[in-house]
């Protein structure tokens, strides 16, 4: 089981915990992940981390497609990978949601499936560098020939010779997007993974592999699940610490009629709670929304409590079908415990 450290995006003040990342690398962590919403971006911090680390893979979880064109996304990914010495960058991409896409980036939500499909295919053409890049997709065209063009655009080839093997992953959770990811990409950051998740996601992934052909399957595809880990004797207190973040996303991160995090809770078997949390949050009753987050929902998707309880509950994750897990803790004990459970420390010792 590969182990990743999720840094997320910065708050009001930029903070890159490079010493924590260096410590994670020494403990055998396989990857470190940045993110973006509408503040700090995901790509820039990886350029910095490339300079202060040696082998840990550098992933974006995720770069928002509407924030940059697919060619720019490929350029940023190739640049970071080259600066890091090669074979270290993971280009994690995703769509975000219509509130951010239209409200922050000023782009139409359009057709999400076609947008992501065109985006992935263009990035792959840039990395492969077989010929000047052209693309006549349903959502994106290169050269662009829409309204306002001069009609003189021409296909171009990257000046930089990029690593052709930079993997593209997506952050997604709906059936159509998961199938697309399995078909087109090398890895996946699932939205809503838990120990029983393969029962739902497995058939979608298999359909994508079938469409891809060429022997693609679970043995050459990575699945990196996000999981919260809190070491604390009082289980209830640990669960309560998680509730504000869940209430924020399930209740307020998106429109009332278009919130993927709310859908995630409904699909996990908590539709009434999801609706109630959103109702309370959007009404400004945030504390009540937090209290409405079900303990069972949190406990099923996270590892919390004393060390022995976490050890006992880890095995189902090991057997769940994912190839790696991301944790977001900055606690030294937590990093060491997860490095032990996943075998990251043993792998690092073997490398040394």
Give the dihedral of Cα atoms 244, 247, 253, 258; nearest 10 deg. 170
Beta bridge partners of 60: 34
| Same domain (yes/no): 342, 219 | yes
109 and 158 belong to one structural domain: yes
The pLDDT value recorded for residue 72 is 98
Q: Do residue 245 and residue 221 come from a single domain?
A: no
Q: What is the CATH number of the domain that holds 97?
A: 3.20.20.30
pLDDT score for 259: 83
217 and 244 both lie in a single domain: no
Q: Are residues 43 and 171 in the same domain?
A: yes
pLDDT at residue 267, rounded to an integer? 79
Looking at the structure, tell me whether residues 275 and 335 fall in a common domain.
no
198-249 per-position pLDDT tens digit: 999 999 999 999 999 999 999 999 999 999 999 999 999 999 999 999 999 8
Percent of the residues in the chain that have a pLDDT greater than 90, as a whole number: 88
34 & 96 share domain: yes
Same domain for 37 and 104, yes or no, is yes
Does one domain contain both 248 and 339? no
- What is the span of the domain harbouring residue 37? 2-229+320-351
Q: Is the pLDDT of residue 46 over 90?
A: yes
Condensed to tens digits (0 to 9), the pLDDT of residues 318-343 reads 999 999 999 999 999 999 999 999 99
User: 113 with 130, same domain?
Assistant: yes
Structure-token match 């840094």, residue found: 7
Confirm whether 191 is domain-assigned: yes
Question: Is 221 domain-assigned?
Answer: yes
Domain membership flag for residue 314: no
Q: Can you give the pLDDT at residue 130? A: 98
Instruction: Note whether residue 310 is domain-resident.
Output: no
Instruction: Report if residue 313 sits inside a domain.
Output: no
User: Average pLDDT, stretch 165-184?
Assistant: 97
Question: Comparing 269 with 52, which gets the higher pLDDT?
Answer: 52
One domain for residues 262 and 340: no
In a domain, 315, yes or no: no
CA distance 301 to 317: 9
pLDDT at 352 over 70: no
Provide, rounded to the nearest whole percent, the portion of the chain with pLDDT above 70.
Answer: 98
Q: What mean pLDDT comes out for the span 60-85?
A: 98
Contact 169, 90 (CB under 8 A): yes
Structural domain count of the chain: 2
Q: Is the pLDDT of residue 75 over 70?
A: yes
Can you tell me the distance from the alpha carbon of 94 to that of 181, in angstroms, rounded to the nearest whole number?
Answer: 10
**Which tens digits make up the pLDDT trace of 260-313?**
788 888 878 899 999 999 999 999 999 999 999 999 999 999 999 999 999 999
Q: How far is Cα 194 from Cα 320, in angstroms, rounded to an integer?
A: 7
Residue 312 belongs to some domain of the structure: no
Please write the tens of the pLDDT for every residue from 121-153.
Answer: 999 999 999 999 999 999 999 999 888 999 999
Q: Which residue has the higher pLDDT, 252 or 207?
A: 207
pLDDT of residue 99: 86
Tokens (6 digits) for 121: 């295919």
Same domain, 14 and 70: yes
Residue 298 lies in a domain: yes
> Would the pLDDT of 38 be above 70?
yes
Long-range pairs of 250-257 with CB within 8 A, sequence gap ≥ 24: 250/274, 250/277, 250/278, 250/281, 250/293, 251/277, 251/278, 251/280, 251/281, 251/282, 251/286, 251/289, 252/278, 252/281, 252/282, 253/97, 254/97, 254/98, 254/99, 255/97, 255/98, 255/99, 256/282
Q: What is the mean pLDDT of the chain?
A: 94
pLDDT of residue 189: 98
Q: What is the pLDDT at residue 351? A: 55
Window from 66-75, 143-152, 170-179, 263-272 with minimum mean pLDDT:
263-272
């Amino acid at each position: 089981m590969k182990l990743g450290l999720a840094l997320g995006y910065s708050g009001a003040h930029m903070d890159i915990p490079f010493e924590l990342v260096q410590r994670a690398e020494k403990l055998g962590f396989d990857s470190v992940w940045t993110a973006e919403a509408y503040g700090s971006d995901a790509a820039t911090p990886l350029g910095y981390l490339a300079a202060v680390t040696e082998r840990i893979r550098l992933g974006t979880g995720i770069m928002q497609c509407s924030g940059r064109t697919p060619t720019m996304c490929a350029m940023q990914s190739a640049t970071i990978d080259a600066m890091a010495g090669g074979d270290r960058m993971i280009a994690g991409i995703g769509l975000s949601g219509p509130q951010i896409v239209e409200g922050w980036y000023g782009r139409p939500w359009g057709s999400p499936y076609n947008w992501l499909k065109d985006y992935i295919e263009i990035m792959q053409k840039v990395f492969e560098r077989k010929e000047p890049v052209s693309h006549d997709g349903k959502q994106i065209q290169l050269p662009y020939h829409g309204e306002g063009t001069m009609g003189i655009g021409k296909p171009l080839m990257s000046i930089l010779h990029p690593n052709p093997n930079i993997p593209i992953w997506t952050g997604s959770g709906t059936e159509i997007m998961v199938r697309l990811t399995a078909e087109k990409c090398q890895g996946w950051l699932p939205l809503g993974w838990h120990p029983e998740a393969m029962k739902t996601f497995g058939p979608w992934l298999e359909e994508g592999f079938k469409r891809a052909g060429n022997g693609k399957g679970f043995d050459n595809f990575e699945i990196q699940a996000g999981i919260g880990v809190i070491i604390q004797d009082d289980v209830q207190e640990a669960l309560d610490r998680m509730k504000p973040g869940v209430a924020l996303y399930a209740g307020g991160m998106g429109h009332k009629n278009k919130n993927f995090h709310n859908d995630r809770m409904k699909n996990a078997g908590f539709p009434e709670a999801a609706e109630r949390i959103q109702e309370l949050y959007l009404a400004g009753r945030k504390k009540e929304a937090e209290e409405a987050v079900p303990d069972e929902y949190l406990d099923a998707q996270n590892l919390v409590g004393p060390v022995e309880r976490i050890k006992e509950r880890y095995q189902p994750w090991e057997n769940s079908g994912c190839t790696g897990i991301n944790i977001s803790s900055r606690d030294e004990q937590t990093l060491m415990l997860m490095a032990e459970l996943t075998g990251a420390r043993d792998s690092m010792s073997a490398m040394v």
